[in-house]
Amino acid sequence: MFYILNEREPKLIELEDLSPEDISVGYLTIEELENNYDKLGLYENIIHDCMADQTHFRTSVDIYDDFSFGIINIVNVMNVQEAKDRVAFILKKNQFILVKLMDEDESCRDMFENSVMRYKQNATMEKIIYGILESLLQNGNKSLESTELKIIIMEQELVNGRINQYFDRDIFNLRKELSLLKTYYEQLFDIGDKLQENENDLFDRDVLRYFKLFTAKAERLSNGTQSLCDSLVHLRESLEACTNYNLNNIMKIFTVVTTIFLPLTLIVGWYGMNFTNMPELTWKYGYLSVILLSLLVVIGCLTLFKKKKLF
């Protein structure tokens, strides 16, 4: 599927009818690219790069004398757990091609067609490229706002003492999602920055502002994601402080109990010796006096601890 941009509105044509002089944008499957790469003036190694299992984020654009080539792994920013789509792009002086590598729901095709229709009047190749790149940042601010709200709710639960055994795991999972988002935005920032450099002079200088706008948006989203990551680090530190505080309170209780029973243990050991000449053994009130002594010791310890605000 190709659109030529020579006229006022984009015109849909077949690949066979495409002329080298036409300014065009196109969307191809990897099979279509493999069958027509020589007609499009591309190298065979492009096919190998497209078909390679590149699950990691590509952070650069390959620059050739007469075209640029890159691969983008696309993340659904509203649900990063979903499988990533993957597309390649080929950029020539008067031609832009988006290649489907992995896209089960055809969302990348829809993104391409929506970008073409967005600039239906006075469409240019640079505007359509900008529209496609900007679509990759769609819902970025909404995603950050949603994650920020989650962090605020978690902070409120921590302040109110309503943390559960999965609280630490939730922080880790959220941190993992933010890390993936940050890597995604950095990938897009690098691509926009590379296009803006225009090393092989594919663009006129006055249209580079589109890539500057895109790069600025990607950078802002990346910085916002990093800010939320820092908030999670502080939340994790607060959780550890809260856990240590609760542990200290438990240890304080154990210390108080141990301190109370220490003199009682001494009394029991003292009067448990049963020596023959111990006067309390034959005293009528010996048993009662030991009980009263133990009670006095307990009351005295509790009074002292209360005064010292140990409980």
Q: Each residue of 213-264: pLDDT tens digit?
A: 999 999 999 999 999 999 999 998 888 888 887 788 888 888 888 888 888 8
- The two three-digit tokens of residue 11, written as one number: 């015109």
pLDDT tens-digit series, residues 83-120: 889 999 999 988 999 999 988 888 999 999 999 888 77
Q: Is domain 252-307 annotated with CATH 1.20.120?
A: no
Where in the chain are the domains? 1-136, 252-307
**How far is the CA of 256 from the CAs of 18, 250, 294, in angstroms?**
87, 10, 16
- The two three-digit tokens of residue 105, written as one number: 């729901």
Distance of alpha carbon 170 from alpha carbon 241, whole angstroms:
17
Q: Out of 27-36, 46-55, 213-222, 283-292, give the one with best mean pLDDT.
A: 213-222
**C-alpha radius of gyration, the chain, whole number:** 36
CATH number of 1-136: 3.30.460.20
For 135, phi then psi, to 5°, come to -65, -30
